Amino acid sequence: MTLVIGIETSCDETGVAVYDSARGLLAHELYTQAATHADYGGVVPELASRDHVRKLLPLIDRALAAAGCGREQLQGVAYTAGPGLAGALLVGAAVGRALAWALGIPGIGVHHMEGHLQAARLDNEALRTPFLCLLVSGGHTQLVDVRAHGDYRILGESRDDAVGEAFDKTAKLLGLGYPGGAALAELAMQGNPQRFVFPRPMLDRPGLEFSFSGLKTHVRTTLRQCAGSDQDRADIACAFEIAVVETLLGKSQRALQLTGYDTLVIAGGVGANRRLREELDARLAVRVVYPRVEFCTDNGAMIAYAGCLRLAAGQRDTLEIAARPRWPLSELQGFPSVLSPK
């Protein structure tokens, strides 16, 4: 198994990439629907599905052209099968399955979070299991014990909002559009870190669980208590970001102590956050590995890569077009890694 096309359509990003196990990533294309959903302040599932239908086939053509290969050269198809929005997932799964069937090659449904988790390996060939992974996306906040490839044990997760969701909701309160995580981070750079101190949720309690919904309430209350000037908003954004980063840092430290691992891998959209990266680098004694910023948020490259790993290990899915909007990461089975990452 060498040349695999990866298709990502789980939410509001259409991503396609071509990965070659011998030469590495050959091409990746992304279309973001952010502008489509911005007016609604969140992702509208029906609009997301329709946009995937419109964009996916042209994006596949573009990715193949950029990779310099024809469809007939492909040896495998990987598509996100879950978790995510049902209709959006079905677009990628249907196109992926049809492509595999038409070309007579194997296809596999990839777990979106496994894609995120493996993304760091696209640029870090020396990364070996076991390691600890901090998965921080719009839908998930998890500390994962990666014992072996595909063998994931959740050590702790959020009881309520995911950290990306907390960024987005806070951004909305501060009047920054959707999705607001990156905009909030930018605003926070203008803020005074000393002015407000927000609580670090659950950091004072033992264990590895997270809770971020209270922070949002704290933001709302603080905003009401001041005039809401540009500087007030920047100071609040800064206090929020620091509280989140301190919490993620503290829980990661705890999980590293518990596992004894010497490597922490960051994955998911919030992994693009600069303060998080700087603080983890400065304050953790272990090696911290990040995906390229563009591969933190949703993309096709991570799906092509994770799919390539599983296809190379001999896994295949049946012809059925199946999507699993809810799919716990811990249900995945380990597999032998016969590919060394490029």
Which residues of the shown chain bind ligand KG4 in the complex (CB under 6 A)?
A: 11, 116, 137-139, 164, 167-168, 179-182, 185, 268-270, 272-273, 297-298
Which element (helix H / strand E) includes 49? helix 45-67
- Phi and psi at residue 97, to the nearest 5°: -65, -45
Count of residues in contact with Zn ion, rule CB under 5 A: 2
Is position 170 an interface residue for Zn ion (rule: CB under 5 A)?
A: no
Is position 21 an interface residue for Zn ion (rule: CB under 5 A)?
A: no
Query: 198 or 210: whose CB is closer to Zn ion?
Result: 210
- Phi and psi at residue 151, to the nearest 5°: -110, 90
Residue 73 Cβ vs ligand KG4, minimum distance, rounded to whole Å: 29
* Chosen from ligand KG4, Zn ion, none, partner binding at 201 (C-beta under 5 to 8 Å by type): none
- Residue among 5, 28, 7, 25 nearest 80 (CA): 7
Query: 21 or 137: whose CB is closer to Zn ion?
Result: 137
d(C-alpha 135, C-alpha 12), whole Å: 19
Stretch that binds Zn ion, among 69-77, 210-218, 295-303, 329-337 (CB under 5 A): 295-303
* Chosen from Zn ion, ligand KG4, none, partner binding at 270 (C-beta under 5 to 8 Å by type): ligand KG4
Residue 297 Cβ vs Zn ion, minimum distance, rounded to whole Å: 7
| 76 beta partners | 4
Query: 100 or 245: whose CB is closer to ligand KG4?
Result: 245
Residue 137 Cβ vs ligand KG4, minimum distance, rounded to whole Å: 3
Q: At a CB cut-off of 8 Å and minimum separation 6, what does 98 contact?
A: none
Beta strands 131-136; 263-267: pairing state: parallel
Residue 237 Cβ vs ligand KG4, minimum distance, rounded to whole Å: 11
- How many CA atoms lie less than 13 Å away from 103 in the CB half-sphere? 20
Query: 76 or 181: whose CB is closer to ligand KG4?
Result: 181
The residue of the chain with the least Cβ separation from Zn ion equals: 298
Q: Which of 21, 33, 80, 137 binds Zn ion (CB under 5 A)?
A: 137
Query: 102 or 189: whose CB is closer to ligand KG4?
Result: 189
- Using alpha carbons only, give the angle 204, 207, 210 rounded to the nearest 5 degrees: 75
Query: 239 or 248: whose CB is closer to Zn ion?
Result: 248
Q: Which of 298, 305, 308, 309 binds Zn ion (CB under 5 A)?
A: 298
Contact status, residue 151 vs residue 334, Cβ threshold 8 Å: yes
* Chosen from ligand KG4, Zn ion, none, partner binding at 156 (C-beta under 5 to 8 Å by type): none
What six digits make up the tokens of 279? 């603080």
d(C-alpha 123, C-alpha 152), whole Å: 21
Residue 37 Cβ vs ligand KG4, minimum distance, rounded to whole Å: 12
CA distances to 148, 227, 234, 236 from 224, in Å: 48, 7, 14, 11
Which element (helix H / strand E) includes 200? none
- Phi and psi at residue 171, to the nearest 5°: -60, -40
